[in-house]
Structure 1
Amino acid sequence: MPVNPAQTALWPAPHASGAVDATVHVPGSKSVTNRALVLAALAAEPGWLRRPLRSRDTLLMAGALREMGVGIEETVSSSSSVAGGPDGSGEAWRVIPSGLHGPATVDVGNAGTVMRFLPPVAALADGPIRFDGDPRSYERPLNGVIDALRTLGARIDDDGRGALPLTVHGSGALEGGPVEIDASSSSQFVSALLLSGPRFNQGVEVRHTGSTLPSMPHIRMTVDMLRSIGAQVDTPESGGEPNVWRVTPGALLGRDLTVEPDLSNAQPFLAAALVTGGTVVIPDWPARTTQPGDKLREIFTEMGGSCELTDQGLVFTGSGSIHGIEVDLGEVGELTPGIAAAAALADSPSTLRGVAHLRLHETDRLAALTKEINELGGDVTETADGLHIRPRGLHGGTFHTYDDHRMATAGAIIGLAVDGVRIENVGTTAKTLPDFPDLWTGMLGN
């Protein structure tokens, strides 16, 4: 396979010459887009998905569902002021459910949502569905989903690995019922079973047995989206047992959904205001959301900024100083790289806790952040469940990304304040944030 030049070239991270002052339109949420695609594919009638994110992860999800027989038609809204931009603005996808079937081969890339959400869907298909992906995908935990599906009646061939590649032999239905799983390594194990649960003959009762459960906001997102299309879901928050979720079997409605901006992908732009003492506006920031990225308002305010939700969107302003922070990021682990980057530029130490599970993400994010920030002159040490960051004067150098989109944006944040930072494979940001380099230079007026 030819080497993609974007994967080997070094991108000179732009250095900020002053305070930023920009409005940045952030593309739609990957987490919402991929959940919505799964639910629409399982619905009893066609539905619409408006302003979907078009990125590697979401196109892999759409492509996988098409392979299994789902119709997904892409259209451009004539009434949109942005006609079909690369981020999905102005676009709508019409999802037409049909009889799920194999044989089919699904490419998951390195997308956790695809590799975890679709095996339960494949168990409802008629025929074999093979799952394969990038080399790193073989190393990411999948045993929670595999073992649970077997308990619920599915037949899966994985040669005992508990990981990719694997084949799900769908029989057109799945019995479902109660199942215990340890989702300590990924909340996606729970979401995967809940999303398809309404289509199981007995529904599903998922009982988490582990000592920790990261990224709870993502489970709440799954539950909210299920309820919005007619599913009955009982949760610990609604008076159910702790760590138990129940989904009643039943038909799902087709609906018309507009995807929120991806608040986690807003992080580098908000961090730019924090680092430079400037102002960034993110339009369409929702007043109520289950996205973990909404926590940025609180975290970055504690680190020295201020924010206001206005008719224009979220207005975030840096004070010119960055303060260290002690924070448990267990529910919002995906924000860790950007917070670590800002913390490396702060005026006091930071301790980031509750994110041991990041060692199993696109890369070992804790080891990667430690190595890359320290090679620029930083002082970062790993702890059992996070990072301790002591700010020091940083210098330029190469910031490696390990094919991890959030490592790339973390390097860009540091580059605002440190001249000479070069980011390897900035193109990996296409996983969830298309055209990041152009958005970034546009924010800086370059």
Structure 2
Amino acid sequence: MPDLGRPGAPSRRALLRGGAGLGLGLLAAPALTACGTADAEPVTSGPVDISLWTHDPGYVTTYQNAVSDAALTRGSRFDFRVDVTNAAPGDIVTRMIAQAVADGNTPDLAGVVIDQFPRVMVSGIAEHLFVDLTETVRPLGDDLLKLAPYTVEGVPYGLDSDNSISVYYYRQDLFQEHGVPEDVATWEELADHGERLATDHDISLGMVSTGDNGSIVNAFLQFLLQRGGGLFDERGEITLPSAEALEVLEFMVRGVRSGFLLALPDPYGSACAAALKSGRLAATAMPNWYNAYGLQTNVPDQAGRWRMRTLPRFSGGGHIASTLGGTAFTVLKDKPHTTAALELLRRVYLTRDGQLLRYRSGGYLPTLRSLYEDPELLAIEDEFLGQRVFDVYGRAAADLPLFHQDAGMQILTDVLGGPVLDALMGRTSPEAAIEDGLGAYRQQVKR
């Protein structure tokens, strides 16, 4: 990695321009407006407008609530306000780097969706754009969860907004009607029930995605992480092929073939909505946010019929939970408002009051392990599900797998999606699918 501190080293602007040539899509990226300029004096106190770029209105609400919360901001040297720019997840990263290349106005705080973060893991871009959060998170130690996806060469650059804990949602009424125990221990046992229901009643107890490469690989990855595998390790080395990956894909293929798992283009589209409404899809493994965005959005009339539990284990090992999705907030470095933005992020993301505010504002699960034992959260009953959800989330958070990324994650997703789909559709074997995806990846990523 280039050392920008030594004589003759490339400038940050030159390095970022070089990164643009690595497929970052910066050409013709329209400029975004933000407050402040790179050569202004650092703001150390008083009123400050934090420039916030995000794709999700929930984060806008969260930060607006935070800066108006007297208890959360008590004792700060700053009088915070937020100046929001909304953009699509890919555009945020593209335009942020484009502005940095042009010495233009970048945000103070940027929400980077988890599948976009690999774009800043290449060529030291994260190092030269974002504040190193090592000292910020050090006091929390192991209490802070989900740093791994936003860590580059051991350095954390983003704090996730949501633990994105995958649980098992199921129609309690249909389970009772058809004799499916709610406490089934393993996926293999549940698959036996699912095959029976698919044959006798055209009901599935889970789903896989068959649409775009991202949705296909995400469905595979969610099971793979639960089984104890992954796509990359903490050093950024690809971990395919693996026994866990083959086992998971074989499980998915068998599930689709038997009808236990329903093949759908995506978990949010019209086909999935129809399957939920008809009872054709009576259960699914999805993250906590699927309650609001998948179930309540599509089947609000089914309130009280759905429940959630931790995931059944794979008989071969692994975890009782998984994870899928997320958005990390990063602080842009060397800007007039960098100190203020870092303090705001710390207050909203690394304190009890901030994490409770985020849950109340947008349903974002805490990323502090200790809060899963907090009496205020344990007392919360979800109206749609009709149960105390933190009883489940607490057990799941204690056994949550780590998810590591690498700069090649988007390439791997693109080349692995097709072979996985071929396996699900019976056009190739699971073993050949993994080998084909890995071979295509190695052709593009030389190491």
TM-score (normalizing by structure 1)? 0.27
Flag the structure with higher helix content: 2
Q: Tell which has more relative contact order, 1 or 2 (C-alpha 8 A, sep 6+).
A: 2
TM-score (norm 2): 0.27
